[in-house]
Structure formats: C-alpha cells, structure tokens
Structure 1
Amino acid sequence: MRQLVVDILLKMAKMDVEAKELMAQVEAQSLLLAALLIQAKQDNSLTISETVQDAIVTASRSSEEFLQSDVDLLLTHINRLLAVARYVEVKAIEREE
C-alpha cells in the first residue's frame, strides 16, 4: 500500500512539473507573439489581429466538422494573446513618456 501511495505521489509530481513547463512555454509564446505583433504594427503591416480572426471564422464556416465551442475557445485564446500585445505596447508607450 505504501508503494502505491509513493507511486501516485511521484506521478502527481511529474504531472505538476510537466504542467509548469507547458505553462512556461505558453507564456513565452504569448510574449513572443506580442513582440511580433507590435513590430508588425510599427512596420505598417495589415492588422494581423483582424486577419487571424477573419481566417478562423471563415475556416469554421467552411466546414461543419468544427464545433462552435472549439471555435469560441480558439478565438478566446487568440484575443488573450492580442490583449497581451496591446498591454505590452501601452506599457512601452507609458514608459517612454
């Protein structure tokens, strides 16, 4: 019984480490995407956020294989990433002033 508890605790610890690593990857990607979006905006590129959102909506309408809940979840995460970019941009502007 003791070995079973030890094995469960080890598996839980491993899962915790993996979850933290995944979270760090996601946060790093969010910051990288924010930097790329800010740079693209400064280069007077097309609005990436609108293009990405339009692409997701168009793709979801083109096939009935996509669940609306999946599309909504994807759009939520895209909007969160775009909000990070806006936040970083605003803070950079405030720091310059």
Structure 2
Amino acid sequence: MKQLVIDILMKMAKIEVDAKELTAQVEAQSLLVAALLLTAGKGDGASTISDNIQNAIVAATTSGESFLQSDIDLLLTHINRLLAVTRYVDEKAEAQ
C-alpha cells in the first residue's frame, strides 16, 4: 500500500513538472511573438527583440511576488532556445 501511494505521488509530481514545462514553453512563445510585434514597426534588429523580451520578463517578475526563480529560469531557457533557433535559421539563410 505504501508503494502504491509513493508511485501515485511520483506520477503526480511528474505531471506537475510536465505542466510547468509546457506553460513555460507557451509563455516563452507568447513573449517572443509580442516582442516581434513591438519591434516589427520600429525596423530594428534582433538585439532589440532580445532586449524587449528581457525587459518584459523583468517587468513581469517585479510586478508580482508569486514568481519563483526556478520558473523564471525555465522561461528564460525556453526563450533563449527559441532565439537560438531563429539565429541558426538566419545564419543558414545568409550562408546560402
């Protein structure tokens, strides 16, 4: 019976971690799209997009106390991964 409870708790913890991971991915994509929309009208480069994203994260984390550092780190990881993909695609397009 103890093992059953332990197994259930472990499965629930994994589901919670997976849900947090998915939420971070969605939030990262939302921030990236918002930064793209803000930057598109200005005609600036990718550095401004990155700056807008960083500013948005700083503003969001300072506006409330409910943010955990691990959540912020997870969000930044996904944002940096998305930006790395766009840089990679851009470099490949320039090489061709």
Alignment of 1:1-97 (within 5 A): 7-44=1-38, 47-56=55-64, 74-97=68-91
Distance 2:63 2:74 in 1: 17
SS of the residue corresponding to residue 43 of structure 1 reads helix
Q: TM-score, normalised by structure 2?
A: 0.64
Percent identity over the alignment? 16
Instruction: Supply the RMSD in Å over aligned alpha carbons.
Output: 2.4
Asked if the contact 1:33–1:81 (Cα under 8 Å) also holds between the matched residues in 2, the reply is: yes
Q: Deviation per CA, 1:5-64: give whole Å up to 9, x if none.
A: xx10000000011011001100100110110011011011764113213324xxx6xxxx
Asked if the contact 1:30–1:81 (Cα under 8 Å) also holds between the matched residues in 2, the reply is: yes
Asked if the contact 1:37–1:48 (Cα under 8 Å) also holds between the matched residues in 2, the reply is: yes
- Which moves more between the two structures, 86-95 or 7-16? 86-95
Q: Can you give the 5+ residue segments of structure 1 that lack an aligned partner in the other structure?
A: 1-6, 61-70
The count of residues paired between Structure 1 and Structure 2 equals: 77
1:83 to partner: Cα distance: 3.3
Distance 2:80 2:69 in 1: 16
